Structure formats: structure tokens, C-alpha cells
Amino acid sequence: MAGQSAILDYPEQEYILPGNRLCAGCGVTIAYRFILKALGKKTIICVPACCLTILHGMYPKTPIMATTVNNTFAGTASAASGFAAGLKATAREDWHVLAMAGDGGTFDMGIQALSGAAERGDNIIYVCYDNEAYMNTGSQRSSATPAGALTSTTPVKPKVQLKKDFMKIMDAHWMPYMATVSSSYPGDVYEKFLKAREIKGTRFFHLSAPCPTGWWYPTKDTVKIGRMMVESCIFPLYEIEDGRLSLTGKSLSIARSGGKKPIDEYIALQGRFNKITTEQVSQFQRHVDQQWEALLTRAGF
Amino acid sequence: MEQSLILTGTQAAAEGARLSRVQVVAAYPITPQSKIPETLSGYVERGVLKAEFVRVESEHSAMGVCIAASIAGARAFTATASNGLAYMHEQLHWAAGSRLPIVMPVANRGVGAPWTILNDCQDSISQRDTGWMQLYCMNNQEVLDLVIVAFKAAEKLLIPCMVCFDGFLLSHTFMPVVIPGQEEVDSFLPPYVPFHTLDPENPVNINPVVLSEPVADPDGVISPGYMGFRFRLQKSLEDALPVIRQTGREFGELFGRSYEDPLFRYRSEDADFLFVAMGAVAGEATEAADALRQDGVKAGVLGVRVYRPFPAVELYEALRGRRAAAVIEKAISYGYEGALTSELKACFYGKSERGPVISNFIAGLGGKDVAASDLIQAANASIAAAKNGTSPDRAQWVGC
């Protein structure tokens, strides 16, 4: 399990300057701030066309104080692999290579290059920040969109299919370290990245990043919505080190002491679930319960 | 020390990469190119070549790795062909737009559908407009030499370069190849110094969203808009030919084989009729030219070695005043004619001096044999068209 830093231990250096082009209430920025604090300035960030491109700003200005290289949509992991190889070939392995792609660039279009990099064990940290649809292009459905959600390409009938379990896919790559993190628990984000930076090989993070624009909730509720996802075990927090799974933070305390919330309030707060059917809600709840039970078993509870 | 070996085209390409001391190799196998990464992976594993070899899962990732490695400051190399090259397409634009001196041999092969593993040039001609330089080789010596020349020119110009050579006809055919000594190659090709050095104290955002209009940066310096970046790439390519010529001349001074001329010329000086071709078929055409000469036709050959940047002035000079030319192409721009033919015709537009009557022949697609007799027939048809003053308005398909 990750350690615990006191608030005063966080580096004062900010890598995201005030003022950027992302939507108000964006969950990504909260987590990204702590990711960069944990990794430090010797980090190369690989970014495809995604919400993060918007955060990084338009030429010739950027609010990000770390070296960034934009790459093709399907090419985030291959860009990261290329930096890992290029830095090794030029004896500069003290840099961290951080790939940051959304669920579109990871679950869908980027999966091939990511699977290749993870299987080879390339020395990169790959983060999928998951806002559960193609948010940068206007909230179109992705394979990370949960069943029951309206998107701009499921505008009348809510999405039928369940969200892809991406951690299971990555788990099948025998990676040294992978973890889930939520933008509503930045301390947990910071600790897990501190840990990951000391590990060699491909490290994968699934970052849950609520999106007021695409999920249709008030911008002030981003942290609340993200917490509800963890508290209801829709998005449990855990890490897998060399195949050993450990629950962390709030999810660990739920495993130990109970207090798992139903998903109803989480559903009710978001406009994207306006047309979810009763059957879909119970299917959603059943699915969450099954996955949580399986996770508890694997974690030794 | 220099030595002579009998090598296939793929082995020659791998030797060119080894001698260029490439630092990152990322490649995915595809016939007829596969022997290049196979050979290089062996060199890396045996310690003959000090490089990172990334066994990528696709050509898209191969170019993705090369792009990033090149930005990181490593000399990057890959190789591909056919559908593999097509799969790379967006990354080709990305590499050229990022101004990275990546070198990539292409073992020319037809593109599906339907499948063929055999030779034509549709793969690389289809990538003509990606902003890469394109060189076409006539034999395996050129494959080795031009990989080295390509790195030097690419690094001077900050433009990536394809070294194209015919699949099977060169890739799998053994020919004598002179392998230059490493020391001599080192004196010709110094270590790669990237344009931009990664510096944690001066972070940058490479290839962000660019507006259509130029804008001032926070210091008031006007920075180009999107078109400004594209214009710079075009300008550099327009100015690239003298650099390639100079690099080819320097190579000749050191190794005795000059690539100063963007064209291969065979008995062209006094020719009334010229074959114009790219790659191995230009070599084949020399035989046909000899046979035509025996029949009293003053025939010669122009091989286009440098296709991008396009040597329009050299081609105009080489063809003006001639009576007929047959452009033999192993690719076509569907719905019109061969790309080289259109471009050759354009060389003469608006010029005072008339060019030859140009006939276009599409030949050898998907490995179809191009015999000397096919070429002689094409020559005779071209000469007849010139005599009748009838410029054929369509590409003629050889053997269809």
C-alpha cells in the first residue's frame, strides 16, 4: 500500500499555471496537478488529441511547466515507447516518460500501441484519464461509457452495452504496477505516482475523471460525484503489484468496515442518466456488486 | 575497411543503417522488407550495433517510436513496404510536420486489395504528398549508399527521407555490394545533433494546436500560424535539391560513387528517344536502349533517383529538344495517369522550348514481369506517336 504524505510534504512547485482552457469543474486537472508534482520536472508528457490538448493550450502559449509532445490519436503509447528508447539510447534514463490519454485514446483507438508497449515492458507510465465518453469531440459514446448513459451518439436511446473492464485487459499483460485512482482523491493519486516512479517497466493508471460537461451535473459537484463512484464501489481504488491486488484508501476501509453505498443517488445526480431504464439501473447495481465481490475475493477479504 | 560482399537489397539496407550508427530501430515485419529488422535485431543482440531495438506491434507504432526517439535526440530508423507503409500514413505526415530526420527504406510492393506480395511502386507513390523526401534505387549498392546519404541530407534539412527500392527485384536479389569502412562513414556522417534539446529547465510544448493566423507569444514575438509551418516545410523541400546534390557529391569524393545527379543517365546525351523510369526498371531499360540503338534508334534512359524534391529543372534540361519519351511507371494515380508522367509534362508547361511527345506506360504492377521486349514495344509506340504528332491521352497498360 502507498504511504501517506502530509499536505505540507507536497512539492510547492506547480506545473499547471492558473488559467487554462478546460471546462469549469473538470476532474482531470485536479489529478494532473498531483501527478506532475509527484513526477517532477524531468518528465516528458505524451498527449494525443484529447481534452488534455486543450489544457496544454494553443501555440505559442501553454500553462504547463513540463515538456510535452503531442502525438497522433492512436500513437500515445508508441510515442512514450519511442521516448523511453530514445532516452536510453542517449543515456538520459533519469527522465520519466508519462503518457496521458483519455478513454477514447486508450480503451478504443490507442489500445493496440498500449498493449504492445505493456507486453514489451517499455519503461513508461501510462495514464488513462477516463471521463467515459469522447468528451473532447463533444461527448460521443466510447467503450468506457456505462450502460444507461446518453451521449451525443446515443442521443435518444441510452447506451446498451456495459463499460469495458480495462483494468482486466491491462492485468493480462503481467505488469509490475497498475492502479486505479480518482481525481476526487488527489492525495491517493500523489502517493501512487510517487510509488510508481520508483518502479521500472510499464506502469498503468486508470484515472476516473468526472466530467460535468458530458455527464450533465453542476460543475461544483465534480469531487462529490467522483467520491460517490468510489463509495458505491462503481470505481474502487486499488493497486496491483506483480499480480498482487490490494485495495487502497476509501475502498480498503469499505472492505474492512462496510458502508458501501447504493448507486441510486449517483445516477440521480447526472443528466446523462435521464433516460436510464429501471432494468438498466438494477443491471448496473448487480454488475457493480458482482465486480466488487470478485475484487474483495482477490484482495483476500 | 572497405570490402565487397554479395548482398540482397534488404541486407544492403541493414548494412547502411549499421554504418549510419542508428540509435533507435523500430520496425514491424512485412514482406519483402522483413530481413532488414531481422538483420538489425541480430546486430543489436550480438553487440555489433549499439542501438535500442523496439519490436513494435505495428507499422503505425514503428513510426510513432521513431518520431519520439528522434525528438529525444536519437538517430531513428525503420523500414516497411506496401500496406505497412499505408498503415503508417498519418505518422508520415506527423514525422515530416515535426521536421524529424528519420530514414526509412521502403521495399516497394503492391498494395491490396487484392493481396500481392510482389513488386510495384504504388505504396511509396501513394505517400508522395506527406512531406517526405523520396529516393529510388536502381541496384543494391545504391540501397546501401543512399541510406547513408539520406541520413546526412535529412539531418541537414530536418526532413525525413524514404529510400525506395523494388521488392524482390532488389530486396531478394543478390548483387555485389561494396561496403564502406566504418571510419570513412563516420567522417562523412557525424553524430546526430537534434534541433531541440530536451531541457527540464525550459519546458516546451511540441506540436500543439496551432491557430490559422500568426499570433504573438507572451514576449510579443510573432509566431507562425498553421500555414506558416506548412510553408516552411515546403520552402525547405524546394531548397532541398542543392543539399542532396552536395551531399551526394561529398559521398562520391569519399567513396568514388557520386550521387550528385538526381537523375541516372544512360546514353542520354544524343538520344532522340528516352525512357524515363524509377527504380530497377530504369536498369532494365538500359538493355532495351542498347537493343534500340542496334536498330538505329538513338535511345537512352533517364532514371529518376530523387523523386521528392522533384528535379523539374534537371528533367526539363535532360528532355528538351528530344522527340519522344516513354515514361514507364509501376504506379498510377487512378482516374488519370502515372504521377511521374503528369509531373514531367508539367515541367514543359509555359516553357519556350517544346518537350518530347510523352507517352505513359503502366507496367509491372504486382510483380508482373517487365521484359526488355515490352520496353522496346513501348519505345516503338512512343516514337510512332511522336511521328504522327499524336500525343496519347491515356496511360497504356503493358501486358493487359
CATH number at residue B320: 3.40.50.920
Does residue A17 form part of some domain? Answer: no
Does residue A224 form part of some domain? Answer: yes
- With 0-12 / 13-18 / 19 or more C-beta atoms within 10 angstroms meaning exposed / middle / buried, residue B214 is middle
With an 8 Å Cβ cutoff, are B209 and A58 in contact?
Answer: yes
Query: Is the same domain home to B182 and B281?
Result: no
Give me the total of CB pairs closer than 8 Å, taking one residue from chain A and one from chain B.
170
Query: Is the same domain home to B147 and B276?
Result: no
Instruction: Collect all residues with Cβ–Cβ distance below 8 Å to B7 and sequence separation of at least 6.
Output: B15, B140, B144, B174, B175, B176, B177
Q: Testing the interface with B: which of A39, A64, A81 to mutate, by most B Cβ within 10 A?
A: A81
With an 8 Å Cβ cutoff, are A113 and B198 in contact?
Answer: no
Residue B131 belongs to a domain with what CATH number?
A: 3.40.50.970
State how many domains chain B has.
2
In chain A, the percentage of residues whose pLDDT exceeds 70 is 99
With an 8 Å Cβ cutoff, are B74 and A85 in contact?
Answer: yes
Which chain B residues are closer than 8 Å to A90 by Cβ? Answer: 23, 72-74
Does residue A9 form part of some domain? Answer: no
Does residue A19 form part of some domain? Answer: no
Task: Evaluate whether B111 touches B124 at the Cβ level (below 8 Å).
Answer: no
* Cα first-last separation, chain B: 49
- Alpha-carbon distance B63 to nearest alpha carbon in chain A (angstroms): 8
Query: Is the same domain home to B7 and B148?
Result: yes
Which chain B residues are closer than 8 Å to A42 by Cβ? Answer: 200
Which chain B residues are closer than 8 Å to A13 by Cβ? Answer: none
Query: Is the same domain home to B267 and B318?
Result: yes
Give kind and range of the element (H or E) at residue B274.
Answer: strand B273-277
Which residue from B49, B60, B157 is spatially nearest to B99, judged by alpha carbons?
Answer: B157
Looking at the DSSP bridge assignments, the partners of residue A197 are none
With an 8 Å Cβ cutoff, are A82 and B54 in contact?
Answer: yes
Q: Does residue B44 sit at the A interface (CB-CB below 8 Å)?
A: no
With an 8 Å Cβ cutoff, are B24 and A58 in contact?
Answer: no
Query: Is the same domain home to B157 and B276?
Result: no
With an 8 Å Cβ cutoff, are A82 and B215 in contact?
Answer: no
With an 8 Å Cβ cutoff, are A86 and B209 in contact?
Answer: no
pLDDT at residue A4, as a whole number: 77
From the list A54, A60, A89, the residue facing B215 with the nearest CB is A60
Which three cell numbers, joined as nine digits, stand for B223? 509566431
From the list A61, A71, A75, the residue facing B218 with the nearest CB is A61
Which chain B residues are closer than 8 Å to A66 by Cβ? Answer: 200, 203
DSSP notation for B6-29: EE-HHHHHHHHHHHTT-SEEE---
- Quick one: pLDDT band at residue A3, thresholds 50, 70, 90? low
Does residue B10 form part of some domain? Answer: yes
Residue A234 belongs to a domain with what CATH number?
A: 3.40.50.970
With an 8 Å Cβ cutoff, are B204 and A115 in contact?
Answer: no
Q: For A6-49, write each residue's pLDDT tens digit.
A: 888 899 999 999 988 999 999 999 999 999 999 999 999 999 99
Determine the residue of chain B that is closest to A75 in CA distance: B64
From the list A58, A68, A79, the residue facing B67 with the nearest CB is A79
Q: Does residue B197 sit at the A interface (CB-CB below 8 Å)?
A: no
Which chain A residues are closer than 8 Å to B201 by Cβ? Answer: 41
Does residue B284 form part of some domain? Answer: yes
Q: In whole numbers, what is the pLDDT of chain A averaged over residues?
A: 96
Q: For A111-158, write each residue's pLDDT tens digit.
A: 999 999 999 999 999 999 999 999 999 999 999 999 999 999 999 999
Query: Is the same domain home to B40 and B187?
Result: yes
Determine the residue of chain B that is closest to A90 in CA distance: B74
Query: Is the same domain home to B25 and B154?
Result: yes
Does residue B31 form part of some domain? Answer: yes
Q: Does residue B215 sit at the A interface (CB-CB below 8 Å)?
A: yes
Tally helices (H) and strands (E) across chain B. Answer: 14, 18
Which residue from B98, B319, B314, B86 is spatially nearest to B205, judged by alpha carbons?
Answer: B98
Chain A contacts in chain B segment 325-354 (CB below 8 A): none
Does residue B334 form part of some domain? Answer: yes
With an 8 Å Cβ cutoff, are A81 and B61 in contact?
Answer: yes
Per-residue tens of pLDDT for chain B, all 400 residues? 789 999 999 999 999 999 999 999 999 999 999 999 999 999 999 999 999 999 999 999 999 999 999 999 999 999 999 999 999 999 999 999 999 999 999 999 999 999 999 999 999 999 999 999 999 999 999 999 999 999 999 999 999 999 999 999 999 999 999 999 999 999 999 999 999 899 999 999 999 999 999 999 888 999 999 999 999 999 999 999 999 999 999 999 999 999 999 999 999 999 999 999 999 999 999 999 999 999 999 999 999 999 999 999 999 999 999 999 999 999 999 999 999 999 999 999 999 888 999 999 999 999 999 999 999 999 999 999 999 988 778 999 998 8
Does residue B387 form part of some domain? Answer: yes
Range of the domain at B292: 263-397
Does residue A219 form part of some domain? Answer: yes
Q: Does residue B74 sit at the A interface (CB-CB below 8 Å)?
A: yes
The letter for the amino acid at B300 is: G
Which chain A residues are closer than 8 Å to B207 by Cβ? Answer: 69-71
Does residue A6 form part of some domain? Answer: no
Cis-peptide into B309, omega within 30 deg: yes
Give this complex's ipTM: 0.97
Which chain A residues are closer than 8 Å to B211 by Cβ? Answer: 58-59
Chain centroid to Cα B241, Å, comes to: 13
Query: Is the same domain home to B280 and B376?
Result: yes
d(CA B69, CA B126): 25
Neighbour order of strands in the sheet with B52-54: B52-54, B24-26, B76-77, B103-108, B161-166, B133-136, B306-308
The letter for the amino acid at B329 is: E
Give kind and range of the element (H or E) at residue A179.
Answer: strand A177-182
State how many domains chain A has.
1
Does residue B161 form part of some domain? Answer: yes
d(CA B223, CA B120): 42
